Amino acid sequence: MIRTLQWKFVATAMIAITGLILVLLGAINIINFAIVSGRLDHTLEMLGRTGGDIGQLPPMQPQPFREAPSELRDMGPNDYDTFMASNYFVVRFDLEGTVVFVDVSRTSQVTKEEARALAESVYREESERGEKGCFRYLMKESPAHTGVSIVFLDTSVEILSYIRVLFLSVGAGLVSWVLMLLCVILLSKKAIRPIAENVERQKQFVTNAGHEIKTPVAIIQSNTEALELYNGESKWSKNIKEQTVRLSRLVNDLLFLARIDEETMQAHPTNFFFDALIIQMLEEFSQLIKGKDLQVSKSIKAGTTLWADKNQIRQALSILLDNSIKYADQGGSLEIRLYGEKGQATLQIQNTCASLPEAPPDKLFERFYRDDTARTQKSGGYGIGLAAVQSIVQMNKGSVSAQYIQPNIVRLTVRFYKKKEGPHANAQPAD
């Protein structure tokens, strides 16, 4: 249980850390993309406004040399610097749509013929701005209204920069995630130590209290039987014996769950005939079935074997049958089905009841849970049985679930994996 708690802590912490890293990486790359895209749009607008002619820029005012660190924030590339650092080409069309000018002097990426073909495809699309390969273009009307100019800006450097930031951030995120995983694993034991100590104290208390209670219960039961030898049985002595039996069963169930929690109880699987064990258990419960006048229907696949701890499975079957019979309505029905498919052995036990529990089916497997309508002395239950069944089934590599079937049927389903090699080989009888 402590190891399970530790790994749950690690998983929860890493889910939170992973979410935080993804948010940070996403924010970094989105902001970087927005900055790069904004800078490209600004450059493209400037080139489109000037038609690729630096002479169309406003006269640049000379700036004094600045050394003060406080002014560094004002130092950045001006339009002239941006213009000179840009790789672009310009194609102009007349009013008839004929190419009249091609300037590829500011790029080595394309020839005049390639620039002309690319511009003609953009001109036919009649799109003012967009992207073609690694070029981002802008179509502007010529100042003299003699046609249009299309400026193509090479964005390959910016794309490489964006990809570089993306990979570096992802790499840094992965390294950080691995380092955080190691830190969380190393610190998880220390983090859950108070909880682990509290759980251990609780389990130790249950074990010690259970053993301490068994002795006085046994003494009360033996003294009651001795009194009956002298004075005969009375309703008082009978009631004392019934309550001591119930208390003894409760103590045994608590000790059983404590052994499972402490992981001192292990399954010792063998290959045995599951169908024969079920039939044998039904015979043992025949008197209880008759006492409730239940109509029993069986569909048990002969020769079904199981690879599990036979004694533990017998105990789980006893609890399941006792639970179904106990909470079945008088004169109702009890149905048992056993079948195997896809390498599994599946057992279904269902019974009719006066009314379905109000809680969800999964809640039936919680310790000490009983439906409000069943919290009576007559039922004799403590809400431990199905929790014990779940622990036994999981210990034997199986699963158990509950299902409500309208209007008044409760179905319990247990699935076990069969032994893969030779399902009938050396199968033990049911005893």
- Domain locations in the chain as residue ranges: 87-154, 270-417
Q: Return contacts of 329-333, CB within 8 angstroms, 24+ apart.
A: 329/353, 329/354, 329/408, 330/292, 330/293, 331/292, 331/293, 331/294, 331/295, 332/292, 332/294, 332/295, 333/294, 333/295, 333/296, 333/297
Contact 365, 387 (CB under 8 A): yes
User: What are the Cα distances from residue 338, in Å, to 47, 67, 278, 307?
Assistant: 80, 88, 9, 15
pLDDT of amino acid 426: 57
Cα 138 from chain centroid? 48
Tokens for 408, please give them: 């008044």
β-pair type (135-141, 129-132):
antiparallel
Radius of gyration of the chain (CA): 40
pLDDT of amino acid 429: 59
Contact 18, 177 (CB under 8 A): yes
| Measured distance CA(131)–CA(152) in Å, rounded | 9
> Please, which residues bridge with residue 150 across strands?
91, 139
**Residue 411 in 3-state DSSP?**
strand
Read off the pTM: 0.54
Nearest Cα neighbor of 323 from 271, 369, 273, 383 is: 383
Q: Dihedral of CA 17/20/23/26: which sign?
A: negative
Q: Dihedral of CA 46/52/56/61: which sign?
A: positive
Question: What phi, psi does 379 have (nearest 5°)?
Answer: -70, -35
CATH number of 270-417: 3.30.565.10
pLDDT in tens, the chain (431 residues): 677 778 888 999 999 999 999 999 999 999 999 988 888 888 888 888 777 666 566 655 555 555 555 544 455 566 666 777 788 899 999 888 888 989 898 888 889 999 999 999 989 888 888 888 889 999 988 766 678 889 999 998 888 988 999 999 999 999 999 999 999 998 888 887 887 777 677 767 767 777 778 788 888 888 888 888 888 888 888 888 888 887 887 787 777 777 766 666 678 899 999 999 999 999 999 998 999 999 999 999 998 889 999 999 998 999 899 889 988 999 999 999 999 876 689 999 999 998 888 888 888 888 766 654 444 444 555 567 788 888 889 888 899 999 999 888 999 999 987 655 444 445 665 56
pLDDT of amino acid 64: 56
| Measured distance CA(271)–CA(289) in Å, rounded | 29
DSSP letter (8 states) at residue 362: G
Question: What phi, psi does 398 have (nearest 5°)?
Answer: -130, -175
